[in-house]
Amino acid sequence: MIGQKIIRTLHAQAFSSPVFQQDWQELGSKITCLECHTTGYNPATGAYSFERVTCESCHGPFQTGHPTVPMSVTPKAELCSTCYKNTTDEWRASQRGQKDIVCEDCHDSHSQKLKADSVTALCGGCHRDRGESFTHGTHSNAGLECSNCHLFTNPRTSNPIEGLVPTGHTFSVGSDACIGCHQDAVHTRDVIISLRGEVEGIIHSTMMG
């Protein structure tokens, strides 16, 4: 059952993924990328065992006696941060990181899918009262999920630096998240200056009249 989960996951496609292949080639096919996108990578030689992330990437080398002897792994962020450094750095800065709510509390380690049918259902397992507030309620009624605001990241407009991109795992909501949907309703600085000039002109005309 677990083997069937793994075969079509992002980890199984870590090397073959068209997104990785494009970014990797644009970065000059740096061998350091293979540390996370292959299994058994040797930095001294650049050689590796498999062109994907296999079970041994997390569980370590095969142990004699398995499957009778379990190849257990401690579900800690330190393990995930080996490859997901950006994400775990963001997580550490978040309230969830400070409360030690680890990756596996939300993500299934084998399928890499959420441990719920939807993002909102997952978040609602702990944040049961948030939907009662005006902000959360109105956005939910509009069909948005928690991730639309709390995991918002700006669309990529250039190649990632060293293949690293923000993932929104601080869970904080900044103005960029609001502008992502409400661009026409949020005033930019030049619009504010223009409106201020119009208002001052109207006040001046009224006083002179």
Q: Which of 94-103, 114-123, 195-204 bottoms out in mean pLDDT, i.e. has the lowest?
A: 195-204
Residue 3 pLDDT greater than 80, yes or no:
no
Between 139 and 135, the more confident residue is: 139
List the structure tokens of 3.
């083997």
Residues in the chain: 209
User: Given this model, what pLDDT does residue 193 score?
Assistant: 65
* Cα–Cα dist 59/79, whole Å: 10
Confidence of residue 146 (pLDDT cuts 50, 70, 90): very high
User: Given this model, what pLDDT does residue 179 score?
Assistant: 84
Between 134 and 107, the more confident residue is: 107
Cα 2 to Cα 7, 9, 178, 181, distances in angstroms: 9, 11, 40, 39
Cα 156 to Cα 151, 163, 183, distances in angstroms: 15, 12, 17
List the structure tokens of 122.
């997952």
Contact between 39 and 52 under an 8 Å Cβ cutoff? The reply is: yes
User: Given this model, what pLDDT does residue 2 score?
Assistant: 56
Between 144 and 4, the more confident residue is: 144
Residue 117 pLDDT greater than 60, yes or no:
yes
Between 189 and 71, the more confident residue is: 71
34-60 per-residue burial string, b: 16 or more CB within 10 A, e: under 16: bebbbbebeeeeeebeeebbbbebbee
* Cα–Cα dist 114/108, whole Å: 6
Question: Which positions ≥6 away from 8 have C-beta within 8 Å?
Answer: none
User: Given this model, what pLDDT does residue 119 score?
Assistant: 92
Q: What percent of the chain has pLDDT over 70?
A: 85
Average pLDDT for 91-106: 92
Q: Which 3 state secondary structure label does DSSP give 202? A: helix
User: Given this model, what pLDDT does residue 40 score?
Assistant: 92
Could you report the per-residue pLDDT of 44-62, keeping only the tens digit for each? 998 999 999 998 888 888 8
